[in-house]
A and B are shown apart, each in its own frame.
Chain A
Amino acid sequence: MEVDQLQRSFLEYTTSLFREGFLDGQFGQLQMLQDESNPDFVVEVVSLFFEDSQRILNDLSITLNQQNVDYKKIDANVPQLKGSSSSIGAQRVRNACIAFRNFCEEQNADACRRCLQQVKQEYLLVKEKLEALIRLEQQIVAAGGAIPMLNEFS
């Protein structure tokens, strides 16, 4: 595929992710930080996010599977996920975490379990999309092109 086409696909895809709320301005910030000295910056941060999130989601599953749910653990874990998703611009994951936190305060185990499912779902969605985005980036670079940037985020 030609570089032009790839770049256009990339821009279209990125735009749709922003429009649908999967990503927000913070992701744009990360893209801006990527440069020749660190051309894999976005991939590195996103990979860290995946690792970190997986760990937290696993911990949360274990905690919520207990007979006596330890809400302190949930209260420690959910903000971590909220924070890291916020830092990479994974808006929907972040919003799901906010809802989760509220139910955790109420100590409503069933609601928390539903929230966890919601967070997991949003996480898997954004993971899939980010992976697709990164693949497109890699295709562009492999074809000798530069990764275009959107200007529409703060």
Chain B
Amino acid sequence: MPALWHSTFFLVIVLLAISRPSLASQAGNDDLQMGTEHRTYKGTENGTTNLITTLPIVTWNWQEIQFPYLVALWILVSWLCKLMLQLNPSLTSVIPESGLLICIGWVLGGIIYWADKVQTFRLQPFIFFYYLLPQIVLDSGYSMPNKLFFSNLGSILVYAVIGTCWNAATLGLALWGCWLGGAIGGIDIGLLQLLLFGSLIAAVDPVAVIAVFEEVHVNEVLYILVFGESLLNDGVTVVLFNVFNAFVSLGGAKINAVEIIKGIISFLVVAFGGSLVGVIFGLLISLLTRCTKNIQIIEPGFVFVLGYLCYLTAEMLSLSSILSCTFYGVCCQKYINANMDERSVSTVRYVMKVFANGSETIIFVFLGITAIDPSIWVWNTAFIFLTLLFIFVFRFIGVFFLTWILNQFRLVPLEFIDQVVMGYGGLRGAVAYGLVVSLDEKKYKEKNMMISTTLLVVYFTVMLQGITMKALVNWLKVKRAAQTERTLAEKIQNRTFDHILVAIEDISGQIGHNYMRDKWNNFEERWLYWLLMTPSARKSCDHIFNIFHKLNLKDAMSYVKEGERRGSLAFIRKETKIDVDFYKKFGANFSEMMPYIMTENMGSDHVPVSSILWDSMPSVCLDMHEQDLKMRESEDVNAHHLLQQHLYKGKKQHRHRYSRKHLEVNKDKNEVQEIFQRTMMSRLESFKSAKIGVTPPKKITNHLKKDQPQKMPNGKSTDNSKSHAYGDEDGEFSEGDSASGCEAADGSFPMRACRGAGIVNPAFNAEMDPMPPMQQIPPWLAATEVDSSAVVPSQRAQLRLPLTPSVRSSPRGHD
């Protein structure tokens, strides 16, 4: 590993060394025609090409290639820095990666400065705003958890708009007060300039926030609040910045009520205009992907191009480009994910992450490099110190005050620790720097001072707050009950409680926002799906559950009859060769649909805002699992270990992890799929068992032992039959009553409740069953036999549960 360090360092030096001569020669501001050696094809420039005397075998073409070469080189260097960081994981756990990248940037900046005596590379605002920022915002918008975002939109807007205005105003005014009081020294600055400074410093930066919150996992509500705020406050920042910039140009005297009103109007225009641009482009891309079925190979490209155009269009119209890009992503995600081919969707997701991650790395490295430039440093201690102090203080005051107000209206109030984290997580970043550098020197005499202060604020917040965030959380968390050693019973019970709570929440529903939600869903289903989605996507978006519900009883009956008709061959399946067709047709769709089921179309139900209780899952956690620290007996360890590994996580633990680094929460998806399948199968079982109770046993026992792939009359019928287990009007539910298997009367299908029909354990194979055929009684007859031998030996992980209700040979406890 040290070798790798050394080699990369050496590489960096070499790369810089190469760039030096070019820079030195560039000092003369030569154009590409310089040099005595040209390739002859460049001879369109007349004159200078005739100086070669012999055929050059190889020529040195630095001049022509310089610009793209440097760009590529710098990207490479930045990403190599990231690589270097990964070599030392212990360091990244203490200092957030963004901070470390800044440090490396300092080192690199130092090298360049030492080599060139002038800082040749810096983070230009133009490059930042047009080449580095769009991808990050695009990624944020595209990966935004829409449901969560819109559920909390009110709070987010409050924080973004009112919070940012508050921060800007108080900071500006406080600094002005200090200036009047002489604390800052006699600098050439005025109220308006200070307000401008306040407005650009006040904005919480999305790039920095994500970077730090990656390390500290917080609950989803808190996450979306901070993240959403950081994205949406751009609207405010841009407006304030432009307004104050214009005011400074106008001069203080000309500001009257009209101008102020114009300022407010411009805020509305910029914010809504930007969002509108984003929405329009989102619609465009959705429409476009509807038609791109035949050019799937470049389908993903459209997403990026249109996204970029969206950004630029907003910039062109001087609207908020970050807002437009965010809403672009937010609006289009659902439709393009449905319309495009699976591989295109993966491509888009992955490439977005690559770009976003790459950009972020470059931004932070260059933030570091830019600092090493004495020409911009104007050190005004008081100013810096006061700025830092005020940012901190006013942020906290703002957060607490706004939260207090919001808590009156929110369904689930925000806890104290949430507020602390939110206040502390207000990081500033490159956006502020970009804005400050773009100021006009002539108007702002103290531009350098502002730049220096901004840089310091950025460094401070990113590094110090980033580092201490974990410690702070730890400290706050420790005040709660310590995680003591837990017994098995406690662990199981805790998990049970989690599941119970989730279920009760789902049953009691999200109270309050239903009306708007339903209206939107209806509107969406009626118009938008028709307009924006391909017909096939529309069909499969009728999510699986509805399919289950819609299908009618007849299919189930016919399935069963079919099985009986076919006698011994029907209700069989092979352990390994599960009916491929069936699975492929339905199962594959099923797994595709899972994301929909999980995230979007839940009909009238939706994610409750109240996802977390106080103590059951602390809102901020450092990803520390329960500590099994003490030594135990080996069996104990096994049991605990098993529980740890294999208990299904409740929904609460499927916290939405929007992560710059990781793509998906795949494991949770599988788990949910598994649970869903099991539940469906068990419901089908109980339904079927109730229904088939009348069938004479002897026919059925034959079915048990043969292994043959079964052909479903219609690939979907099985699952369809599960549907009416619950969806059918005729069905009746008899509960708690264990021996109801044989009571099926025609025309009504009492289903046995939570007992009886076992979990269809697909892994369970007839082969595995030691009991001879005649003793194996189909569950619908053996309703009463639920005893300890009931649990089926489960086999190794087979996530591919066949969706066929295969016959198990022994009754099982069901759940």
A and B from one complex: no
